[in-house]
Amino acid sequence: MNQANEILFVASLLVLVSIFAGSASSRFGVPFLLVFLGLGIFAGEGGPGGIVFRDYQLTYAVGSAALGIILFDGGLRTNFATVRLVAGPAFALATVGVVGTAALVGVAAHFALGLGLLESFLVGAIVGSTDAAAVFFLLNMKGMALQKRVSGTLEVESGINDPMAIFLTMVCVELLRLGQPPDSLELVLLFSIQMLGGLVVGVVGGFLLVALFNRVPVAGGLYPIVAMAAALLIFSGANFLQASGFVAVYVAGLVLGNRRHRGAQVILRFYDGLSWLGQIVMFLLLGLLMTPEEMTPYAVGSGIVAAMLILVARPAAVLLCLLPFRYTWREIGFVSWVGLRGAVPIFLATIPVLADLPGSELYVTAAFVCVLASLTVQGWTIGPVARFFGLELPPKPEAVSRTDLELGSTLDRDVASYRVEADAPALGYRYSELPLPRRSRIISVIRDGAVMDRTKLENLAPGDYLLVLAPAEHFFQLDRLFTARRQSKRERKRAERGEEVFGEFILTGDTLMGEVSMLYGIPVDDKDRKDSVGTYVRRKLRHRAVVGDRVRAGPVEFVVREIRNDRITSVGIELEPEEHPILRGFRRAFGFD
């Protein structure tokens, strides 16, 4: 009884301390996940806390459940349009990229750690995949707005690449344990079952969950509990069928998050906290497992492996996978750097331990050092690197002034309450001329506690409360209308110099290139002079355009400012585009625009 109470006391204390320590450290730019990991080490056997924890089986079980919840949450927040935009490159990174990374890291492990070829490849397989939890959390925590193609590639890749890493790890462990290679056809069949089976289970499970929410009414507070239980059921059910539970639970979240259903808002709010809890518990347990004394003999070799992973293996794999999809040099550089490793490598490193492989502590140490290096070096520098590559966009408005009210799954519009902020763009319009999205309308305006007569209202005022009826997909536009937008560091610096983030001048997408050439002295081929700026930019990009895309045209640079219905409607012109000398050399060497 006393022991159970002690465990409960210590566990709850560690979680609370982790949260407040992480909040305090974020002021200095320290990644939250690094704080959780460090606190676990501090409280563990090798730290002042002195907690002895050696239960790898429990770590594996808890890590599986936590990762399933985090992936489900990631799927809930991913739009189908984003998946369509980056499906090809993300799949290439999740398969070919993981194998390539594992092979290159294996070479470093062979020489730095003195391992055999198969043991070395196992090290590469363990650290070969990016971590969904780390990518989702660090990108969101930094509060950055990135080009949709870049952020979507990173998120979808990290959401679907775990099965390949797990597959490679399992195969290597079985080879080392049994001493004989499996049949090649059997390997291909096993991997196909893992991936396709996970996809099928996820799609079926997601649609069944949507039907369950819409047809079986439950108490409002139980929707998140049902979603959590269903996510874990889909995850474990897929594993039971020899399919990938990680793919299944991510796809199920994707299906649920992109379909209208009851309880959508309360589920998202609940999962926001639940995924945080899963992340905290994972990193605390993994930190408790590590002791500095056991890591010391392998620290230097593991450091070399980590350097190979960050500086060579990941960039080479990204270059190989993204070149065929015509990603720009800026995008390839950023995706190469943000190959974040988190809890998954250490979680995978427990598999050799559970299989009783000789020297299995080496795999745990190598994985831990790679994760520590990734979180410290890459996690700490995401913001500066995004600005270095010119991929940071003006941040989205923080919808702190909006409260969502659901009308049920049978209606195609929702109601939201807004508080008009002092610098909101809506204050610059007459009330009757507000640029509301299609099929959106203001139901009522409340000022100083009184409902205003909308027929006599001339302008909105700061502090007004609005009730707005609109389709769910239009609330982002309404957020921008009624909420003051924060400026990014890049915007503030450029504003101080009198520059615009998206260029000094703005053109409509229909402006003819011939006119632009005459106005700004841009050399343009005769065949391009009758094209619109939007058409010209799209053709030069050679892929689906997203906001923030840049196209060089002689001495100037076109920047995509706005896209509507897949058509470029607004373009900025930067007359003196900045370019780092190193990046200019990279662009010229590889022939990027």
Sequence-ordered list of residues with C-beta below 8 angstroms from that of 466, at least 6 positions apart, any chain: 417, 418, 419, 420, 442, 443, 444, 445, 446, 460, 482
Q: How far is it, in rounded angstroms, from Cα 187 to Cα 492? A: 54
Give the pLDDT of residue 235: 93
Give ranges for CATH 1.20.1530.20 in the chain. 57-393
Compute the 3-state secondary structure of the chain and give helix, strand, coil in percent, each to the nearest 5.
65, 10, 25
Q: How far is it, in rounded angstroms, from Cα 67 to Cα 113? A: 29
- In the structure encoding, which two tokens stand for residue 298, read together? 């392998």
Task: Please classify residue 232 by burial: count the beta carbons closer than 10 Å to its beta carbon, then call 0-12 exposed, 13-18 middle and 19+ buried.
Answer: middle
Q: What value, to the nearest 5°, has the Cα angle with vertex 69 and ends 212 and 253? A: 45
pTM above 0.85, yes or no: no
Q: Across the beta sheet with 441-447, what order do the strands follow?
A: 402-405, 414-419, 465-470, 441-447, 450-451
Give per-residue pLDDT as tens, 265-316. Answer: 788 888 878 888 887 888 888 888 877 777 778 889 999 999 999 999 999 9
User: Which three-class secondary structure state does DSSP give residue 454?
Assistant: coil
Which CATH architecture best describes the domain 399-482?
A: 2-Layer Sandwich (3.30)
Lowest mean pLDDT among 11-20, 348-357, 453-462, 577-586: 577-586
| CA-based nearest residue to 350, from 227, 180, 169 | 169
The CATH number of domain 57-393 is 1.20.1530.20: yes
Q: What is the 3-state secondary structure (H, E, C) of 83-146?
A: HHHHHHHHHHHHHHHHHHHHHHHHHHHHHHCCCCHHHHHHHHHHCCCCCHHHHHHHHHHCCCEE
Asked whether the predicted pLDDT for residue 101 surpasses 90, the reply is: yes
Q: How many other CB atoms are there within 10 angstroms of residue 523's CB atom?
A: 8
Residue pair 547/563 in contact by the 8 Å Cβ criterion: yes
Residue pair 86/151 in contact by the 8 Å Cβ criterion: no
Q: How far is it, in rounded angstroms, from Cα 287 to Cα 29? A: 21
Phi, psi for residue 450 in degrees, rounded to 5: -115, 140
| CA-based nearest residue to 26, from 157, 182, 143, 200 | 143
Give ranges for CATH 3.30.70.1450 in the chain. 399-482
User: Would you tell me the crossing angle of helices 117-126 and 98-112 to the nearest 10 degrees?
Assistant: 130
User: Which three-class secondary structure state does DSSP give residue 561?
Assistant: strand
Lowest mean pLDDT among 92-101, 336-345, 427-436, 517-526: 517-526
Give ranges for CATH 3.30.465.10 in the chain. 489-590
Q: How far is it, in rounded angstroms, from Cα 435 to Cα 300? A: 60
**Residue range 322-336: average pLDDT?**
89
- In the structure encoding, which two tokens stand for residue 552, read together? 């060089």
The CATH number of domain 489-590 is 3.40.250.10: no
Q: How far is it, in rounded angstroms, from Cα 195 to Cα 241? A: 12
User: Which residue in the block uniquely carries the two structure tokens 């390997």?
Assistant: 187
Residue pair 342/375 in contact by the 8 Å Cβ criterion: yes
Give the pLDDT of residue 496: 45
Among 153-157, 231-235, 387-391, 466-470, top mean pLDDT goes to 231-235
Asked whether the predicted pLDDT for residue 409 surpasses 60, the reply is: no
Q: How far is it, in rounded angstroms, from Cα 30 to Cα 27? A: 7
Q: DSSP for 525-542? A: -GGGTTSBHHHHHHHHH-
Give the pLDDT of residue 499: 45
Asked whether the predicted pLDDT for residue 557 surpasses 80, the reply is: yes
Q: How far is it, in rounded angstroms, from Cα 4 to Cα 24? A: 30
Torsion, Cα of 56, 18, 399, 468 (10° steps) = 70
Q: How far is it, in rounded angstroms, from Cα 518 to Cα 522? A: 7
